[in-house]
Structure 1
């Protein structure tokens, strides 16, 4: 009989997370001609970079143990009602959206819609988001979300420079009532772009010669004013004006586009998304049609499929950083799709009438605060406001003491004043308590309301919205919960996500996002904290961030972690800024050359450009490795200017480069720093680490390696790990002290903090042993697929022993030459087999890059392998003339149910088209549209909701 301590379930999560069980692993190794997992790792990972000892994370915890420990940690947070404002507000997320979108793997495990035929659901939700944005901002074109308001403002500045016709000016104006965290991020971005920035009162703008300006509407302290005159002043000098706007205020106020704004941006957080101690929150971004090709981020456009049916897809900016590299408009690779979808469903759920009621109620309560102040003889700073009231000349210490006792947060960072921002969750009882906190006595709410109703409006009629909003039928059809539920479910059914089948995307690591990991993000203790609340109220977050940081330091081999970057691309940027600030501190600001291998992810050169670096490309050899001789030659040539090398490990070609230590040494020899891209950490954890290899800084994709789900294109988190010499130069924050003095790279001090519990749970439940087993499982699964497919397709790159890392590249170029079948045809045909295609034509054109992750079982791997082998047989039939080049199931893929039910004029059967395997017949995923015409969509750009008759006609 076993001792009690051995009868635990401590290994249960490891078994649940790593797909292949022990017997399956043995079978897979045998099929590869391998004797053991240890032997496979010996053949795959260079001995010189393997860690000499196991990770010191600790033993794995069961789901129950980890949840209990995290719950206790969450209990250290104190939930006060925050009236701080500054861009963050308590909200009510309708439960039908909470349960069926935020907590639903059908929505949160989907990938970026690069395969639009199997992503029509989230594309429609994003199109609704764009329509909502256009309606509220008064501009013609909107994106499908950016990372947060502050980084969206920084993108607006860069865009203004691109499109402004005032080419002589290098000056950007920021109004002094722009939120301080936004000022911080924009100033940081301007530094290495070489822009001059002035922060001044709006009244001074007219006298300045600027290429662009950033204004806040309403201002950070709540003032509502007509911006038309200021905008005209900038336009008279051929400049561009961006307005950062409050989305709820836009329901009631005149649209900035109507005042002449060229760009309008802001956070959609108020539309149902929890504050979450700072994120994730989707930014909205809108501009004029004339500037569409300079717009950052992704745009969803309406095109048509092969049969002329309306179909949605990403337009214009689709993967532009992969193509344009350092010439890309932005380094943005992900956005906040899940949160944008929540905001769009919030608008659909409430409709224009519901939103107007919410906005009017918020404004009415703010007016009651102002009326109470005037009754008490207290000065209200602004005559016109929407939700924020500033009280001048008050006893701040007394108010703060009463607020603490009542568990209320008010804004206290204003000289000689206190400010409060009302929100949709504020009840009459809440308002009564707030007034008592502010004025020291209980007031008659009914009398105050009557006073407000009898007084002149606080908003000038000229500043109120007059035009109707959200007129499209989608914002009027779903009022009952039954209807809303069915609409959400209808859209979910059009998307292929991880709850249906594996998504084997190279370099994107679509692994299991375990339910236990996801549960804590809905806990109020994590969801309902304001990012600028007093530190003593966020002790649970502090402990979570500290412990997760310690684990990530152990995993990466670095000395310090910065949790602020809220995407991988932001992490790249933050890491490069740390290098640049460090070198500047040494008197080496002239170092501005960044060496980047030709195989690099497109965000690398784009991020380098944003950090003010000039990119020099390093060649790769025929095996896919960095050409060390070329690297040495270029490092020596540019030794006086060399800032850094950006390298991915294992390489973007999917192999462990044996010369990686030598590569790091070469860069250090010439005074440079090594930035190791963390995109492929899933092949490192527990086996090697960037710090051990010799790198100085890396970002980590928590939405890849550490189980935060992709959410259809976001959220993400990209914290950076650094060696000790770079630690003082990590991003800081102007509102919350994070330990460094440098400017922020994101709006919130700890980025998208509310999703950090996911990665904490992942690491806690795997423990030291499980983390290593996960990496070994990823390597095993990739090599199993490579070995099983190598007899049918060439595997493009392998290491010395014929092994790949955690991903492999299938070369389709010879087949295209022999059959005319392209990688695109194979990708779309995989949809018919129930699979999302692997990464297509990256890093090598004409290939598929496959990353199965450790979470997929042998059964699922075999199903994918079977599909690829059968597709090879289909290609052979085209090669031999059994099917023509013009009519075969590959070039016509994907096939919809309409195809199968309609008239059939093909040389292959309906069964061959739709049910190529028994597994597909048993569980069929139907693409909702046929292959989409991308060229048509870009030539006839239409990025808002189609009228219903467009669908009815079809």
Structure 2
């Protein structure tokens, strides 16, 4: 018997499924799946997973798991701090589906709310760091710093391969830097500046931590000047809260600033998800990786936000891309930006001052007790020198509920944060055998900030809860998310994110755990992670899984590094060619380059399948150097290719490994297992197949799953000694959102997961069958079937009428829909993925809209409407446009604003008209414009 949740998750009920099957000519779901999936890869057993349980039972189990975690007072630091998430932000952003179910803002006209929030984020970062341009956002501090290193290398005038790193850098950051440097031929050289060690003779970049891991605050101006004299670029990993009191990286001439915004109201979550940041000085903005929000203008000339060109650089430049970053941490960046909006500059400075005062009290009291400090210049972290006593002191503090950081046998580090109280300070002092005494004088005054920050009105307006609540509502009302209707995107699954799945994320037992807490306090998390990894291994047919990668792109990199490590262990380090089909997602090629591989493209045939003859030729040509092939299955074209098992065998015969990109795993679960049909490694997008919400473009989790022979090469704990190839800052990556996927699998059970796959395939084929006579379906597999998505070809329409894929996408907004994926993987097409969560009424509403739009196209084709003045060319239509005093178009206002099938009582109005992307790329504006810009 299946769990009652299955019927909640799957949209079409049995009667609706029968209607859908009839439309595509099949008598049952089983018959459809037998025809769709090649028998050579078909899994006919039952997944070895526990039976699905109810929502109430799932919450009870999660409560028991959470109860095994110990919520102590973390004063460990190292870039992770307790913080207070303002309740108005927790309820109205983190727990609000209007924010967490939104898609990446590639359709900017219906994303103006989250784009404004991200522009606030960029402005916050640039103001605090003293830089010119920031992106929105990075995955965590460690990966942000790694991106800064590669940015410095491609922008530096130095020909050196040496990257100099301050020894007082966070250890987890250093681990990720080393992982990213080695395949690229970068030599990371650690320099202990406190001991007077000299910088290398030549280096292309210098990394400085500010404040350092020890808490020390240093004047780096001389080092920056020396680095510039060598032609090197300088990155400062800076604490944003400290920068409300301390001189900015920009003021000392740094080229890049990187770090995390976690302590701006984002819970610890055992390591994530948290929004990292990356900011650059003028002149480097065009090299900035990741997503960048810019200001452009719409068809009326009004300011409007959109993503800048380099946001999608992997898709444009592929193996020449400078980064594989695809997911950002948008939801968390929104939270951090709203924390700054809510508190404003005075509030942030007050919080920072309280934190610093606590640290001064600790320092003064320890000094009064005769205890030496490693540095007398600090912001929030004090390191005490206690020869031979470090472990004992930390144990005494832990016994009283406070976690400290043991640096080594002789040093203990204590970090204050927003939640630190006088009682916490007294507890820590008691562990040292000290008592509260007069605070130390602040020795950091010489480095005090003298410049203003966050002067824009948005940071000085919404300080009451009433104002903040209304601001958040205003922004969310501008956006289209799953709480409004279907988001039929191919390639990026947008299925139900059930409330029960989301519920545990904000429980203190999950939210308030430091990633470096003692293992005795994290048994609940360790149990949940181990269970989830075991379930994912069973579902995929692999032998081992790591959830450390905090995005699909990082999962790709981790998988390719595992392949690299495997070949090297066998004395075959020369194997460095990675075969990639021409249809592949852009991150595949970028990831291969980052893993030190050479990309060789394999052609696709006219049906969209991998060209096996070209594959044979490429394998033969590169046989001795073949490292791997990266394929997406079902294919990027949305087809179950019949020869996938043959492909795997051919690559293995030549000594290579097979990487199956798990982007489309939601079309396989319960029916085929990559680890059993020939693949060696896959990454899995938990934010697609396993229901972690997109959050406007992130968080994402990209676990990597491997066969037994690759297990030893999986990423490991960045704080553990050894060469583990850590790809993110925390051992379990974005652990704070893993309860979502755990709950989904637990409630669905093996039968429910299998049914979800079948229903997704049914829905895609239903849409394809209903629309095929109006729009050609570009690719199909055997029996004319697609997998979980279908590609509608708009190119013949464009050739005949001038109506473009953009016109169709924007017109769908007027009908109350988010557009499908545009021009990927084929330019001039729409890729549609309905998912298993949409019921028949919503599927039919979308189909009706697409048919109605084809009818409008026919009126353009007939000459009834001019090619440059019709509802498609002018879409989307705003309320202002439709109610304007003048109306000079050949179609009615009603056709413009209330086309056929639109519910007049629940109409979504886009806040802006079509946005001029090219203008925004030519005129890059990436921080909050003045209010006067909108008045104009």
Bucket of the pairwise TM-score, normalised by the shorter protein: over 0.9
User: In the TM superposition, what is the alpha-carbon distance from 1:206 to its structure 2 partner?
Assistant: 4.3
Q: 2:109 aligns with which of 87, 110, 117?
A: 117
1:178-189 aligned at under 5 Å gives the runs: 178-189=169-180
Partner of 1:434: 428
Q: CA–CA distance in 2 between the matches of 1:355 and 1:414?
A: 33
CA deviation vs aligned residue, 1:26-53 (integer Å, no higher than 9, x gap): 0111111211111111111111211020
Q: Is the 8 A contact 2:394 2:405 kept in 1?
A: no
Partner of 2:818: 836
Q: Is the 8 A contact 1:77 1:540 kept in 2?
A: yes
Q: 1:640 to 1:872 in 2, by over 3 A?
A: same
Q: 2:402 aligns with which of 398, 401, 408?
A: 408
Q: Is the 8 A contact 1:293 1:316 kept in 2?
A: no
Instruction: Say which SS state the counterpart of residue 317 (structure 1) adopts.
Output: helix
Partner of 2:467: 483
Partner of 1:625: 609
Q: CA–CA distance in 2 between the matches of 1:469 and 1:551?
A: 48
1:247-326 aligned at under 5 Å gives the runs: 247-326=240-319
Instruction: Say which SS state the counterpart of residue 593 (structure 2) adopts.
Output: helix
Q: Is the 8 A contact 2:815 2:901 kept in 1?
A: no
Q: 1:642 to 1:293 in 2, by over 3 A?
A: same
Q: CA–CA distance in 1 between the matches of 2:651 and 2:398?
A: 54
**Is it true that 1:690 corresponds to 2:674 in the alignment?**
yes
Q: CA–CA distance in 2 between the matches of 1:96 and 1:337?
A: 18
CA deviation vs aligned residue, 1:568-601 (integer Å, no higher than 9, x gap): 0000000000000110010001001000001000
1:23-42 aligned at under 5 Å gives the runs: 23-42=15-34
Partner of 2:160: 169
1:870-885 aligned at under 5 Å gives the runs: 870-885=852-867
Partner of 1:743: 725
**Is it true that 1:460 corresponds to 2:452 in the alignment?**
no
Aligned pairs, number = 932
User: In the TM superposition, what is the alpha-carbon distance from 1:736 to its structure 2 partner?
Assistant: 4.6
Partner of 1:911: 894
User: In the TM superposition, what is the alpha-carbon distance from 1:399 to its structure 2 partner?
Assistant: 1.1
Q: Is the 8 A contact 2:560 2:595 kept in 1?
A: yes
Q: Is the 8 A contact 2:289 2:310 kept in 1?
A: yes
Q: CA–CA distance in 1 between the matches of 2:7 and 2:129?
A: 50
Q: CA–CA distance in 2 between the matches of 1:664 and 1:616?
A: 17
User: In the TM superposition, what is the alpha-carbon distance from 1:196 to its structure 2 partner?
Assistant: 1.4
Q: Is the 8 A contact 2:164 2:199 kept in 1?
A: no
Q: Is the 8 A contact 2:402 2:424 kept in 1?
A: no
**Is it true that 1:372 corresponds to 2:372 in the alignment?**
no
1:748-763 aligned at under 5 Å gives the runs: 748-763=730-745
Q: CA–CA distance in 2 between the matches of 1:263 and 1:316?
A: 20
Q: CA–CA distance in 2 between the matches of 1:206 and 1:172?
A: 10
Q: CA–CA distance in 2 between the matches of 1:642 and 1:387?
A: 51
Instruction: Say which SS state the counterpart of residue 188 (structure 2) adopts.
Output: strand
Partner of 1:190: 181
Q: CA–CA distance in 2 between the matches of 1:241 and 1:25?
A: 59
**Is it true that 1:779 corresponds to 2:761 in the alignment?**
yes
Q: CA–CA distance in 2 between the matches of 1:253 and 1:494?
A: 37
Q: Is the 8 A contact 2:273 2:329 kept in 1?
A: yes
User: In the TM superposition, what is the alpha-carbon distance from 1:19 to its structure 2 partner?
Assistant: 0.4
Q: CA–CA distance in 2 between the matches of 1:389 and 1:148?
A: 24
Q: CA–CA distance in 2 between the matches of 1:374 and 1:211?
A: 41
Q: CA–CA distance in 2 between the matches of 1:436 and 1:613?
A: 55
Q: 1:105 aligns with which of 84, 97, 110?
A: 97
TM-score computed with the length of structure 2 as normaliser: 0.99
**Is it true that 1:946 corresponds to 2:926 in the alignment?**
no
Partner of 2:551: 567
User: In the TM superposition, what is the alpha-carbon distance from 1:128 to its structure 2 partner?
Assistant: 0.3
Q: Is the 8 A contact 2:627 2:657 kept in 1?
A: yes
Q: 1:650 aligns with which of 634, 639, 644?
A: 634
Q: CA–CA distance in 1 between the matches of 2:471 and 2:394?
A: 46
1:344-359 aligned at under 5 Å gives the runs: 344-359=337-352
CA deviation vs aligned residue, 1:483-529 (integer Å, no higher than 9, x gap): 00000000000110000011111111100000000000000000000
User: In the TM superposition, what is the alpha-carbon distance from 1:922 to its structure 2 partner?
Assistant: 3.3
CA deviation vs aligned residue, 1:380-410 (integer Å, no higher than 9, x gap): 1102000000100252243123112201110
Partner of 1:418: 412
Instruction: Say which SS state the counterpart of residue 630 (structure 2) adopts.
Output: strand
CA deviation vs aligned residue, 1:828-871 (integer Å, no higher than 9, x gap): 11111111111000000000000111000000000000000000
Q: 1:342 aligns with which of 335, 339, 344?
A: 335
Partner of 1:506: 490
Q: CA–CA distance in 2 between the matches of 1:290 and 1:458?
A: 34
User: In the TM superposition, what is the alpha-carbon distance from 1:741 to its structure 2 partner?
Assistant: 4.0
User: In the TM superposition, what is the alpha-carbon distance from 1:733 to its structure 2 partner?
Assistant: 2.3
Q: CA–CA distance in 2 between the matches of 1:897 and 1:770?
A: 43
Q: CA–CA distance in 2 between the matches of 1:952 and 1:708?
A: 39
Structure 2: gaps of 5 or more residues: none
Of 402-411 and 85-94, the range deviating more from structure 2: 402-411
Instruction: Say which SS state the counterpart of residue 301 (structure 1) adopts.
Output: strand
1:470-869 aligned at under 5 Å gives the runs: 470-736=454-720, 741-869=723-851
1:183-262 aligned at under 5 Å gives the runs: 183-202=174-193, 203-262=196-255
RMSD: 1.1
Q: CA–CA distance in 2 between the matches of 1:303 and 1:741?
A: 46
Instruction: Say which SS state the counterpart of residue 902 (structure 2) adopts.
Output: helix
Q: CA–CA distance in 2 between the matches of 1:129 and 1:21?
A: 42
Partner of 2:79: 87
CA deviation vs aligned residue, 1:605-624 (integer Å, no higher than 9, x gap): 00001001111110111111
Q: CA–CA distance in 1 between the matches of 2:442 and 2:644?
A: 68
